[in-house]
Amino acid sequence: MKSTALQLALREWRRHLLNPLTITALAGVTAVLALVGPFGTIQSLSLPERAAYWGVLVVSGYVGGYLISYAILARTTAPKHRIPLVLLAGILTGIAMTAIVTALNIPVFGVLPSFTNYPTFVATTVAISVIVMAVIDMFNRNLRQHPAPVETTVQTPPLLDRLPFDKRGPLVALSVEDHYVRVQTTLGDEMLLMRLADAIREVGHTTGAQVHRSHWAAFDQVAKASRLGDRAVLHMKTGIDVPVSRANLPKLKEAGLLP
């Protein structure tokens, strides 16, 4: 069970870290720090060296903080329980970042940390980590409570773009007549010079099927279906009838139009 939970956490971490938005944000923060060169790095390191230095700190700090916060906060939702856990996650992240910065500074700058200033450095790093962790947690909780609205716009079938504006209603049926396709909508019909197969490809998300070699029907426009021997007829709401061949009867049964 613990192994499964760990695998899920690692999978979620990889998915989150490889997200283009995450990569862009980390690259942007690294670029700003490399250009500004805070904490004296602008005097002691060249621009490529600053980019590498801050890149290591930004990525390692983000990865460590994400894993720590996920492990501690993933299953906690009550605000009164989250506050001490956010504090704990921030402290642990700060301690981890202190170790990372110390380990990185020794080979980069060739100096050991001063025992006089080290407590202040540790306290500052932990305080920053707690603040960042609290902001990130608040942001994540607000995203969960106010999810982005689901797009509900229905795409218009491309086939309707070929029709006059006054006939662009919901599709009812398509029928072959010589080299033309008669497009039936709830607002009328129009003859188009095209193949039935091409017209069917342009019905978009309209639910329906080709029910005959020469006919296609929209299932939501069917008033009723009648059996005629080994064939059938669809009586559409607009008053037209669409024949159904024997080979296509299973499509009507699958759509619930025939028993």
Local confidence band at 200 (pLDDT 50, 70, 90 cut-offs) = very high
Residues 6+ apart with CB under 8 A from 175: 181, 182, 184, 214, 215, 216, 242
pLDDT tens-digit readout, 76-126: 555 666 788 888 888 988 898 888 888 888 888 887 767 777 888 888 888
What is the chain's length? 259
Local confidence band at 2 (pLDDT 50, 70, 90 cut-offs) = very low
Rounded to whole angstroms, how far apart are CA atoms 116 and 99? 17
Kind of pairing between the strands at 180-185 and 215-218: unpaired
Q: At what angle do helices 118-145 and 47-73 cross, to 10 degrees?
A: 60
pLDDT tens-digit readout, 13-60: 677 677 787 788 888 888 998 898 887 888 889 999 999 999 998 888
Domain ranges of the chain: 2-145, 158-254
Residue 71 pLDDT more than 80?
no
Local confidence band at 152 (pLDDT 50, 70, 90 cut-offs) = very low
What number does CATH give the domain 158-254?
A: 2.40.50.1020
